[in-house]
Amino acid sequence: MTTLNIYLFGNVQINHNGLSSPLRLSHGLKALFGYLVLHRNRSLSREVLAGLFWGESGEAKARSCLSTAIWRLRSLLEPDGVARGTYLVTIYPEEISFNRESDYWLDVEAFESAFNVSTVALDESQPYSRINEIETAIRLYGSDLMEGFYDDWVLVQRERFRSYYLTGLLRLMRYSEEQGALEQGISYAKKILEVEPLREDVHRDLMRLYLADGRRALARRQYKVCENLLESELGVPPMEETQSLYGFLATGGDSLTAGSADSGKTRPLHQTVHKLETAMRKLDEAKSQLKQAVRALEGRNQDPST
């Protein structure tokens, strides 16, 4: 039996037995297959699938388009020599599912397994447990889920995996700092800011890491980067504790612990402002994603399977 290798992080790619040449699936077929794989724990109604992917075409045409798309998927996933039903299973006449019992490897499944989301990533009482597994998950992520797809169901799943990814990076950054692996901590902080450039708390972390590593000029420069981003994107100055940290750098202090720039009085305010900042960031992201979705919808072919 062949092994089906499925990559949903970044550009969707599928191949048999790790061959360098991926299967040539159209944009629409990748979307349909991605949906089946992401919902691999249950069978899916043909009616639901037809409505989701071809809902604007009318019921009869939508079902016809779905049947054609499934036939095309089968011909690619289960070519000559691969038994019918190896990867796509029709449990009942009106339901279809991805066969979880088949010989396959799926990057998002490996990510979830390595990250152990339910017991590690969200367990604040064990922030540094199973660091090796979290590192493995981070390497698997690579890029956002199903890049180039903007359907609502994709955006929801993309945000879920991105949240896990950022949580993992934050844990690794904190762990590296505690272990004195400053360069590694700096690398993780930069990765977080690549995804969420308005995370002011991470800008401060990066400033502290630079300072602990003796790179005061880079710490000061990071403040300016943060200041410019907040001004251009939100029209607000850095928070008081960020400015206090920069003031410490300007006075020429030699060392700084992770919490020494934070006062007990400003902590509740910081938490409130950070929540507001996060909400504003998510609103901006939602607006951007909506614009992208509208553009994609306007240019989409009426038959997604072609």
Domains assigned to the chain: 4-102 (1.10.10.10), 107-298 (1.25.40.10)
What confidence score (pLDDT) does residue 128 get? 60
Strand duo 88-92 + 95-98: pairing: antiparallel
What confidence score (pLDDT) does residue 40 get? 94
Residue 301 main-chain phi, psi, to 5 deg: -70, 145
What confidence score (pLDDT) does residue 258 get? 41
What confidence score (pLDDT) does residue 284 get? 58
Going residue by residue through the chain, which has 306 residues, state the pLDDT in tens, using 9 for 90 and above: 578 999 999 999 999 886 668 899 999 999 999 999 999 999 999 999 999 999 988 899 999 999 999 999 999 999 888 888 999 998 777 899 999 999 999 999 999 988 875 444 445 555 566 788 889 999 999 899 999 999 999 999 999 999 999 989 998 999 999 999 999 999 999 999 999 999 999 999 999 999 999 999 999 999 999 999 999 999 999 999 999 999 988 886 555 544 444 433 334 444 444 455 555 556 656 655 666 665 656 555 444 444
CB 46 within 8 A of CB 95: yes
CB 152 within 8 A of CB 289: no
Element (H, E) at 33: helix 27-38
3-state secondary structure of 211: helix
What confidence score (pLDDT) does residue 118 get? 45
What confidence score (pLDDT) does residue 250 get? 81
DSSP state, residue 303: S
Cβ-Cβ contacts under 8 Å for 168 (sequence gap 6 or more): 115, 121, 134, 137, 138
Percent helix, percent strand, percent coil in the chain, to nearest 5: 60, 10, 30
